[in-house]
Structure formats: structure tokens, C-alpha cells
Amino acid sequence: MMQKVRVKPLMPPGHVRTPHYLRGKAGVIERSLGAFPNPEDLAYGHDAPALPLHRVRFRMGDIWGPDTPNPDDTLDAEIYDHWLEPADDAP
């Protein structure tokens, strides 16, 4: 049973690698990849703590809406743990 997660719908103005089109969207953790230095800190030359990074799988229909072609196709994106929250209510 893969863990359901939702990407936090945050919109900070700084250096962020979490794509806008995935914010607020729900998916499942396909695998956890280990810990990597946070690019949000590296970008400013700060010491960057290694944070857990996950490969999250989304349904295309959940990202683009039910009218999208092939809504059951999936998209994988690598998202840092601090951008994810549990989404037990997701379909």
C-alpha cells in the first residue's frame, strides 16, 4: 500500500524546485530516494541539510483535470519531504 501524499500548496517567492503545477495535488510515494542537500539552501550558498527526497507518482487526470487525454497515465516527480503532507482523504 503506497503512502498517499499531497504537495503543500505553498507559494514562497524564493528559489524553489517543487513545480507549481503539482502544488496542492495528491499522489503516492512510489519510492523514497534517500537524503539530499536541500537546493533551497544551496541556491543561496548556505550549508544545506540533507533532507529526504521522494519519487511521487501522480495521475495525469489529478493534475490536469478529468478532460485531459489519457487521465490514467502517470507522472513521477521527485519532491522533498518538507513539501509533502499526508493525504489519506485522496481518492
Interface residues toward other proteins, by CB under 8 A: 11, 13, 15-16, 19-21, 39, 42-45, 63-65, 67
Q: Please state, in angstroms and as integers, the Cα–Cα distance from residue 70 to each residue in 5, 12, 55, 65, following that order.
A: 22, 32, 21, 11
CB of 39 to other proteins, least distance (A): 4
DSSP state string for 38-61:
-HHHHTTT----EEEEEEEEEEHH
- State which residue, 3 or 55, has the beta carbon closest to other proteins: 55
Cell of residue 85, nine digits = 503532507
Q: How far is the CB of 1 from other proteins (least distance, A)?
A: 29
Q: How far is the CB of 53 from other proteins (least distance, A)?
A: 14
Nearer to other proteins, 44 or 86 (CB): 44
Nearest to 81 by CA among 1, 21, 13, 3: 3
Minimum CB distance to other proteins smaller for 39 or for 71: 39
